[in-house]
Structure 1
Amino acid sequence: MIKQLSQQKRAVVTAVLLVASFLSLTSQTMMVTALPVIQQEMHVPLTQAQWLTTGYILIIGIITPLSSNLYEKFTNRQLFLSTTGLFIIGTFLGSIAHSFAILLMARILQAVAGGIIMSFQMTTLVVIFPPDKRGTILGMSGLVVASGPALGPTISGLILDFFNWHYLFILVLPLFIILWIVGLITFPNFSQPKPLKIDMVSVFLLLIGSSSALASLTLFEQGFLIGLAALLIGSGLLYIFGKRQLQLKQPLLRIEIAKLPSFSLMTLVGMLAFMVLIGTEQIIPIFVEKVVGLNSMQAGLILLPGALANAVFAAWAGRYYDAHGAKRLILCGISLMVLAAIPLLFMTKTTPIWLIVIAYMIRMIGNSCVFSPAMSEAFVDIAPANISHATALNNALRQVAGSVSTTLMVVLADIPASLTQGVHWSILFTFGLLFIMALTFKYYLKQKSA
């Protein structure tokens, strides 16, 4: 049925999925600039308030591995309409929330839907377009994946300057309702569901294991032993999950694809790039609001040039990759991110705002040169039958990495008595990520040429 899709139908599917992904990813980080406001209004500590962003990414990381089975079990039309419908429910709940618990529940529902939408988008685009267009198509996907979270804080800052934080949900709600209606009318059905049986034991192991392992990052603040216990329990359950997948005829996730060097190494590069992206855009608004004294709108505007530059270069990087490959792009991108980290590492209350803006913009340009090509390169050796599983695993690992990054960046910033020094620690942490990224890519090039 996919071969019968006309160019017009492919364009409709691409547009609808990219818009849905953009809205869900923008919603993911719209809370970043709102955290200080919500922290003050709801009288919760920053480490608790940041679960509105970290928890969102965590849930996406947990739910994404399930999406490969959902993609095969239901038609693409059923999956799109049900997940966008769930996002609408979560957004509506957030628009009327007046307690932190209800607000967190709204974010969880958004995250469940967002995780499925993101994997569904990537899998569908890889499937309906030929391999020689993969770089361009995944470049468009990468544009959305990078620019959505990058623009979220800016949009949020503009909204918060005129309205209260409820409007972060209220203004998104009609957009998603319109998108659902457009999908209902125009979205074609081009997939055939298979009679799959979802292994509930695997679901349990994945949910509890991932939750425990990732929650341990925050639990370490409450006590070393409780954090260590959560980490060990989570890691043990995930190990059992992995062993079980190798034994099942219909695994929840075909993790054997991780044995492919192109997939495992380039997915790691993409994960590290996402950690740098999401961590930096989390910590800069906190710094300029709490140290420099800017308001939410000003904090958001500081991120805007970087977000726009990221979007432009992500689209260009996809086309360049199709023509020339990943090597020059990724090496250039890593170099730019290292260069941009230097002024961020020495930020103080008196640092000129223009310098922060330029440094962040250069870092986002560098990130776009790494992120999209890494995603495309990760899929070069994936068989068509395994695309949905590769997409699910790639997205899950990236979102887990993002959750780790946002948690560690906030925790590191909160450790010293001075927030300025804490932010320096957080930026130094990204130096380590870039070093690992460079070593990983160097090893990949060596393996590829062998």
Structure 2
Amino acid sequence: MPTPLSSKKRMVVTILLLFSTFISLASQTMMITALTAIEHSLNIPLTSVQWLTTGYILIVGVVMPLSSNLYEKFSNRQVFLSTISLFIIGSLLGAFASSFSILLLARLLQACAGGILMSFQMTAMITIYPPEKRGTVLGMSGLVIAFGPAIGPTISGIILHFFTWQYLFILVLPFMLLILVVSCLTFPNFSQPQKIKIDLLSVFLSLFGSGMALASLTVLQQNILLGIILLLGGLFLLFIFTRRQLHLKKPMLRVQLFKLRSFCLLTLIGMLAFMVLIGTEQLVPIFAENVLGLSSLQSGLILLPGAILNALFAALAGRYYDLHGPKLLLTVGVALMLIATVPFLLMNAHTPVWIITFAYLVRMIGNSLVFSPAMSEAFKDVPPLYVSHASALNNSLRQVAAAVSTTLMIVLADLPRSLVAGSHLAISFTVILLLLTEFLFLRYAAYTQK
């Protein structure tokens, strides 16, 4: 049975949720700087090794839409303990993997756990805190969602400097085991399972639709025709899925939530901000290593100051949002990101590292001022009963946006003969995203004034 939470238990739940989510998100991007090492260690082509990162994103995007049903059908304690256990199993497999197939399976198990955990922590945090603290709470959540992937490559670079790639899994295990033990002893049950019937056709349409659509983004780089077929097939299945949800009495995902103007527009703004974050984070290390000739550790350290300040300002933005709302935060955030674009558009093989580091830092501060309040404002009008559905939709679309951004940034950077020119082209794409972000925010501001 669910129990009311004291402030002490609420704090315990918050720490366990944020810490476990941070580890899963950092693990997602830690593999980026390890691909070359794994390629040489297992003697397989880089195109195959890339599935360790692509497959992770794919599975997270596929699993997230199912998370709302899990939250409704099982108690929050059952979901959390099972998810942490699954992540530990994946990490154990990865630590002792001697073949690529076992290593890939390990990553996919981690991804299943990570996808569920990301939506679960947001739903749980909104559930256990009152609405007047939602900005602060989702500010902390936004801090973890942005900081985890941002710091992952830096942590990985440090680990790989001293150890082999297996330690990317080994060093995660003690932390997740500690979380599991503490959770078994202290994690309370604050939700009531419902007798819901899972619509298997909806599950099928969601799994294969989102899976095909996300996979097409990677396949397009090698085989355009097959990629287009997968994309169109995936979009068709997702269209049928959406139509079905609109006609079911108890849908797997309440897509009707997009009729809420605040949820629709602010979810889109959050997606665009996350695309800018992930895209810039993807491009800077590639430029630093291939143009400036830096090591993976050095390129990871370029991202570190920006990652730290992104986390700090996300928390501050959440607190400011509770007191004053999102208007000033989003305006200043977009402006900072646009200003920080100038050095990126001018960078070349002779650009000092500190300029790139500073430009990235300013961009990350601006991003935190947009992303954190956008998440909070998106849930403003969502009925408490449907928070798990809103969380699943919000997180799923953000993951899709991350996959699109990652693919497009690499494709654009590779288009010209020079990586310098390609980097300028990719950064220009993020300018379009920022202008679109500002346009959507102005639309929302006009709507709220009415």
Normalising by structure 2, what TM-score? Answer: 0.97
* 8 Å Cα contact 1:209-1:235 kept in structure 2: yes
CA distance in 2, matches of 1:40, 1:216: 27
CA distance in 1, matches of 2:98, 2:162: 19
Matching residue of 2:267: 267
CA distance in 2, matches of 1:137, 1:323: 13
* 8 Å Cα contact 1:2-1:128 kept in structure 2: no
CA distance in 2, matches of 1:167, 1:349: 33
Displacement after TM superposition at 1:175 (Å): 1.0
- Which amino acid is 1:108 matched to? L
CA distance in 2, matches of 1:275, 1:50: 20
Matching residue of 2:183: 183
Instruction: Report the CA distance shift for 1:3/1:106 in structure 2 as closer, same or farther (over 3 A).
Output: closer
CA distance in 1, matches of 2:289, 2:35: 11
Displacement after TM superposition at 1:37 (Å): 3.1
Matching residue of 2:109: 109
Displacement after TM superposition at 1:48 (Å): 4.5
Instruction: Report the CA distance shift for 1:2/1:448 in structure 2 as closer, same or farther (over 3 A).
Output: farther
1:13 aligns with 2:24: no
CA distance in 2, matches of 1:400, 1:42: 30
Displacement after TM superposition at 1:194 (Å): 0.7
Matching residue of 2:163: 163
Instruction: Report the CA distance shift for 1:208/1:401 in structure 2 as closer, same or farther (over 3 A).
Output: same
Question: What SS does the corresponding residue of 2:146 show, helix, strand or coil?
Answer: helix
CA RMSD of aligned residues (A): 1.6
Matching residue of 2:204: 204
Instruction: Report the CA distance shift for 1:407/1:97 in structure 2 as closer, same or farther (over 3 A).
Output: farther
Instruction: Report the CA distance shift for 1:50/1:330 in structure 2 as closer, same or farther (over 3 A).
Output: farther
Matching residue of 1:218: 218
* 8 Å Cα contact 1:33-1:286 kept in structure 2: no
CA distance in 1, matches of 2:341, 2:46: 24
Matching residue of 2:403: 403
Displacement after TM superposition at 1:204 (Å): 0.7
Deviation track 1:225-258 (CA, whole Å, cap 9, x = no partner) reads 2222111111100000001111112211011001
1:97 aligns with 2:63: no
Deviation track 1:281-320 (CA, whole Å, cap 9, x = no partner) reads 1121122122222112111111110011001100100000
* 8 Å Cα contact 2:3-2:189 kept in structure 1: no
* 8 Å Cα contact 2:216-2:231 kept in structure 1: yes
- Which amino acid is 1:444 matched to? Y
Matching residue of 1:228: 228
CA distance in 2, matches of 1:427, 1:236: 31
- Which amino acid is 1:303 matched to? L
Matching residue of 2:349: 349
Matched positions, count = 450
Counterpart mapping for 1:31-430 below 5 A: 31-42=31-42, 48-430=48-430
- Which amino acid is 2:331 matched to? L
* 8 Å Cα contact 2:150-2:281 kept in structure 1: yes
Deviation track 1:23-57 (CA, whole Å, cap 9, x = no partner) reads 11111111122234334545555555443223322
* 8 Å Cα contact 1:28-1:56 kept in structure 2: yes
Question: What SS does the corresponding residue of 1:267 show, helix, strand or coil?
Answer: helix
Question: What SS does the corresponding residue of 1:391 show, helix, strand or coil?
Answer: helix
CA distance in 1, matches of 2:340, 2:46: 27
* 8 Å Cα contact 1:47-1:411 kept in structure 2: no
- Which amino acid is 1:421 matched to? A
CA distance in 1, matches of 2:100, 2:423: 26
* 8 Å Cα contact 1:139-1:317 kept in structure 2: yes
Matching residue of 2:25: 25
* Stretch of structure 1 that moved more, 310-319 or 335-344: 335-344
* Stretch of structure 1 that moved more, 41-50 or 263-272: 41-50
- Which amino acid is 1:261 matched to? R
CA distance in 2, matches of 1:229, 1:69: 30
CA distance in 1, matches of 2:373, 2:390: 16
* 8 Å Cα contact 2:92-2:170 kept in structure 1: yes
Displacement after TM superposition at 1:4 (Å): 2.1
Displacement after TM superposition at 1:378 (Å): 0.2
Structure 2 residue runs without a partner (length 5+): none
Percentage identity across paired residues of the two chains:
62
Structure 1 residue runs without a partner (length 5+): none
* Stretch of structure 1 that moved more, 425-434 or 175-184: 425-434
* Stretch of structure 1 that moved more, 248-257 or 406-415: 406-415
* 8 Å Cα contact 2:217-2:403 kept in structure 1: no
CA distance in 2, matches of 1:280, 1:97: 32
Displacement after TM superposition at 1:414 (Å): 2.7
Instruction: Report the CA distance shift for 1:45/1:195 in structure 2 as closer, same or farther (over 3 A).
Output: same
CA distance in 2, matches of 1:348, 1:34: 25
Question: What SS does the corresponding residue of 1:350 show, helix, strand or coil?
Answer: coil
- Which amino acid is 1:389 matched to? H
Question: What SS does the corresponding residue of 1:33 show, helix, strand or coil?
Answer: helix
CA distance in 1, matches of 2:248, 2:242: 10
* 8 Å Cα contact 1:54-1:407 kept in structure 2: no
* 8 Å Cα contact 1:54-1:406 kept in structure 2: no
Displacement after TM superposition at 1:79 (Å): 0.5
Instruction: Report the CA distance shift for 1:46/1:262 in structure 2 as closer, same or farther (over 3 A).
Output: farther
* 8 Å Cα contact 2:3-2:188 kept in structure 1: no
* Stretch of structure 1 that moved more, 410-419 or 69-78: 410-419
* 8 Å Cα contact 1:60-1:112 kept in structure 2: yes
- Which amino acid is 1:7 matched to? S
- Which amino acid is 2:155 matched to? I
Q: Which runs of 4+ in 1 moved over 6 A?
A: none
* Stretch of structure 1 that moved more, 255-264 or 92-101: 92-101
